[in-house]
């Protein structure tokens, strides 16, 4: 017969059941319970051992991705007012000191700034620390030499500012350090204060536990802990803060197991990176590496004895001894740590007293990991999701190098906020009613320099730059006009368009009868003037000649993937796009017909600084150079004499800006898009609830745009005619070829061979013939 119970078990049971009376039954049951308990404890210990080894030997911490701004490049001849450089240094956390004794320090005297830069690992190599002296003259970096010997320096890149992080769900933040990078004085202080017998015990120290138990019993409450560093690490790394016997039981077993498996140095290094040392909003400050930056804006290796003592003081209670909220408590605890260091012979008396006399030295405001540029970080995060999993972004410690220019970002934020307040006051609009979005890019590289998604730029909610998809009004018109100008055999800037009333019967039987903004019709008008004055009637007729699908295809070529309905109303802006999409369109105009995919990211590096991915330029010519030049000439005319003619009153007359106003139906959306020689920007003003704002493109968004451009160090726009384009005089009265003598003469660019050949009477004068002769001689 098959035996269900093994023979040895049944034999043991019979011996136990019928054992003689020398072993009472209750004792035998205790013996069984002891054996069972031992087996269970062994199994539970194995279970805890598995947990420890899986966690400790795997990826121990989820390290958030760090997002960096662009690095500021310094070179002789750079236009850079010294005050702007000082703003950058403050953003970077550089310390003002005449000593210049460490990286990240600077001194300012008049037109001279001396500094010691920080080293930094970029995607294309390491930028070393260097001591330099910069001399400025009229807002220009005139000279740059080494502090040591006066040797001229050609180029220096400052370390980039950390502008945000992408956090895991638990919001823990840390900067990992290796034990070899930790100052020996910090190790000594930590062991003296927290665990003097660290190198002698095996995870727990019964004497300390009994002493703490006795002290707590006498006090009637928990006033002293007996935990070793290993126990503290286990509690923080594996367990909760609950003060229960079960937690202490687990802590003891797991501490022994950690000591059994790992070297003391490895345990100490893990502790250095795990310990909680502060709170920044929802972000917890873990580890000494990040705490050094959070409190002192220094690398851990740069800390002085008083600073080291303060960090060790925080181990006892980071909230209770918070040096910003409770400076007196923090100083008392710090001075106690310094005294213990002197008693242990790690500091001499003079050094201890000097350190105790110093202030806490904590920066008044922490360099927050909660980004002050939420709209830009949101954009970066969305672009990264195309290539990376969310888990990688929140746990691998990636270094994200972006295109954000902090100085331009801060100026843009200020102008958006200040201008909206002024517009509300001037127009009688309720305070804080209007909302806005703004984007600023470089023209050459298509880099996003500033992104403002809310009039309160610190608000990390609805990002209007990406998510406010609104009718763009007359901003669509340049797309129609460049589509026409591409067909140079049919259209030039001087081509006459019919600006008279039109009625269209739509597919649903409704009659659409568009109107000009001024409710007037203007008869035959030159193409450039129709665009400059943003006439609706002539634009609709031009669009119908080209066809809706032809114009939609132009949008596709410029990078707009969103579905656009093929209705005639699209010619007047019944196309809903986001400010970012509008930026893509107008950047193509500003870049002379070359579409460059806008980018917010330059490179991604691993946590160790190894290049992972470069985001290089993606460029494609979608409109030829002559057509693009003609359109940009017309967009300059918008600012010279058209709907944006008041813009130079804000920016000054010498910038020669090009741009276009846009207004949606019932004055619900106010838009402006334009560019200088090196900067391009789009602004939107409106209400989130779609209630009319009572602002046209020129009275709302253009004002914001103007103040942004005025605040930037931007180059005037100088249009250079490409090969195949010539300047020809046209008589506006007859629309024939004219000359300088024509009373209503205007000089326009034409693709060679497309200008009118018949001359107006005013173009046949002696002055015109002489002008033509000299022009022929000097061609």
Question: Residue 474 catalytic?
Answer: yes
HSE-up of 523 (CA within 13 Å, CB side)?
Answer: 0
Distance CA 69, CA 495 (A): 47
Rg of the chain's alpha carbons, rounded to an integer? 36
Pull the structure tokens for residue 66.
Answer: 């760090």
Number of other residues whose CB lies within 10 A of the CB of residue 597: 13
Distance CA 294, CA 290 (A): 6
Output the furthest CA–CA distance in the chain (Å, rounded).
Answer: 143
Burial class (CB in 10 A: 0-12, 13-18, 19+), 430: exposed
Distance CA 414, CA 416 (A): 6
In this structure, is the dihedral angle defined by the CA atoms of residues 513, 515, 520 and 525, taken in order, positive or negative?
Answer: negative
Burial class (CB in 10 A: 0-12, 13-18, 19+), 186: buried
Pull the structure tokens for residue 388.
Answer: 């990376």
Choosing from 105, 474, 664, 699, the catalytic residue is 474
Decide: 693 and 434 in contact? Cβ < 8 Å.
yes
Closest CA to 680 of 436, 481, 445: 445
Decide: 141 and 134 in contact? Cβ < 8 Å.
yes
Decide: 63 and 395 in contact? Cβ < 8 Å.
yes
Choosing from 194, 307, 413, 581, the catalytic residue is 194
Decide: 567 and 534 in contact? Cβ < 8 Å.
no
Distance, CA of 527 to chain centre: 41
Task: List the beta bridge partners of residue 68.
Answer: 162, 401
Dihedral, 674, 676, 677, 679 alpha carbons, nearest 10: -80
Dihedral, 59, 64, 67, 71 alpha carbons, nearest 10: -50
Distance CA 695, CA 713 (A): 28
Residues with catalytic roles = 194, 474
């Amino acid at each position: 017969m098959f035996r269900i119970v093994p023979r040895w078990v049944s034999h043991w049971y019979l011996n136990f059941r019928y054992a003689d009376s020398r072993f009472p039954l209750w004792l035998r049951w205790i013996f069984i319970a002891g054996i069972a308990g031992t087996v269970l404890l062994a199994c539970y210990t194995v279970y805890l051992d598995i947990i420890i080894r899986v966690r400790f030997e795997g990826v121990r911490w989820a390290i958030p991705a760090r997002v960096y701004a662009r690095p500021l490049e310094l070179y002789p001849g750079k236009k850079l007012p010294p005050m702007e450089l000082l703003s950058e240094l403050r953003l970077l956390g550089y310390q003002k000191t005449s000593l210049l004794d460490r990286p990240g320090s600077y001194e300012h005297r008049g037109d001279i700034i001396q500094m010691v830069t920080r080293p930094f690992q970029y995607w294309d190599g390491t930028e070393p620390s260097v001591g330099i002296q910069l001399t400025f003259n009229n807002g220009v970096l005139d000279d740059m030499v080494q502090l040591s010997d006066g040797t001229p320096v050609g180029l220096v890149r400052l370390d980039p500012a950390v502008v945000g992080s992408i956090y895991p769900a638990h919001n823990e933040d840390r900067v990992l350090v290796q034990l070899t990078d930790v100052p020996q004085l910090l190790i000594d202080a930590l062991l003296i204060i927290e665990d003097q017998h660290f190198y002698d015990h095996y995870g727990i120290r019964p004497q300390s536990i009994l002493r703490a138990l006795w002290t707590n019993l006498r006090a009637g409450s928990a006033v002293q802990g007996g935990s070793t560093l290993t126990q503290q690490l286990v509690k923080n790394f594996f367990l909760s803060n609950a003060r229960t016997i079960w937690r202490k039981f687990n802590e003891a077993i797991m501490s022994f197991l950690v000591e059994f498996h790992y070297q003391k140095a490895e345990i100490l290094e893990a502790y250095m990176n795990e310990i909680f040392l502060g709170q920044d909003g929802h972000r917890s400050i873990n580890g000494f590496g990040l705490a050094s930056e959070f409190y002192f804006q220094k690398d851990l290796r740069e800390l002085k004895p008083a600073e080291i003592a303060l960090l060790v003081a925080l181990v006892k209670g980071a909230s209770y001894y918070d040096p910003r909220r409770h400076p007196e408590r923090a100083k008392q605890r710090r001075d106690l740590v310094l005294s213990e260091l002197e008693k242990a012979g790690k500091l001499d008396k003079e050094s201890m007293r000097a350190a105790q006399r110093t202030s806490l030295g904590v920066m008044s405001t922490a360099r927050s990991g909660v980004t002050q540029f939420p709209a830009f970080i949101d954009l970066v995060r969305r672009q990264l999701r195309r290539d990376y999993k969310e888990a990688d972004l929140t746990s691998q410690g990636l270094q994200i190098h972006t295109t954000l220019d902090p100085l331009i970002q801060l100026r843009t934020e200020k102008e958006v906020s200040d201008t909206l307040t002024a517009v509300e006051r001037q127009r009688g609009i309720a305070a804080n009613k209007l909302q806005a979005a703004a984007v600023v890019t470089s023209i050459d590289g298509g880099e996003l320099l500033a992104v403002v998604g809310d009039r309160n730029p610190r608000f990390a909610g609805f990002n209007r730059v990406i998510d406010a998809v609104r009718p763009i009004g007359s901003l669509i018109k340049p797309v129609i006009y460049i589509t026409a100008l591409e067909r140079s055999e049919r259209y030039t800037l001087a081509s006459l368009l019919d600006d008279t009333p039109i009625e269209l019967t739509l597919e649903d039987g409704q009659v659409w009868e568009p109107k000009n903004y001024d409710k007037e019709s203007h008869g035959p008008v030159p193409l450039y003037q129709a665009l400059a004055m943003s006439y609706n009637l002539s634009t609709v007729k031009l669009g119908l000649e080209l066809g809706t699908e032809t114009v939609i295809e132009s949008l596709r070529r410029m990078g707009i993937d969103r579905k656009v309905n093929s209705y005639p109303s699209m010619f007047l802006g019944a196309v809903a796009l986001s400010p970012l999409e509008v930026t893509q369109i107008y950047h193509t105009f500003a870049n002379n017909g070359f579409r460059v995919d806008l980018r917010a990211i330059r490179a991604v590096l691993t946590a160790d600084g190894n290049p992972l991915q470069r985001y290089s330029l993606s460029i494609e010519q979608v409109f030829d150079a002559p057509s693009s030049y003609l359109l940009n000439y017309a967009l300059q005319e918008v600012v010279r004499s058209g709907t944006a003619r008041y813009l130079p009153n804000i920016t000054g007359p010498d910038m020669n800006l090009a741009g276009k106003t846009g207004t949606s139906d019932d004055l619900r959306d106010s838009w402006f898009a334009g560019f200088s020689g090196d900067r391009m920007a789009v602004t939107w003003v409106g209400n989130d609830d779609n209630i009319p704002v009572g602002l046209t493109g020129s009275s709302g968004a253009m004002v914001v745009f103007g103040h942004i451009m005025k605040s930037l160090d931007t180059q005037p726009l100088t249009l250079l005619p490409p090969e195949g384009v010539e300047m020809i005089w046209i008589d506006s009265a007859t629309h024939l070829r004219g000359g300088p003598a024509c009373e209503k003469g205007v000089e326009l660019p034409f693709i060679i061979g497309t200008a009118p050949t018949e001359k107006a009477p005013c173009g046949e004068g002696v002055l015109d013939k002489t002008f033509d002769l000299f022009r022929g001689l000097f061609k």
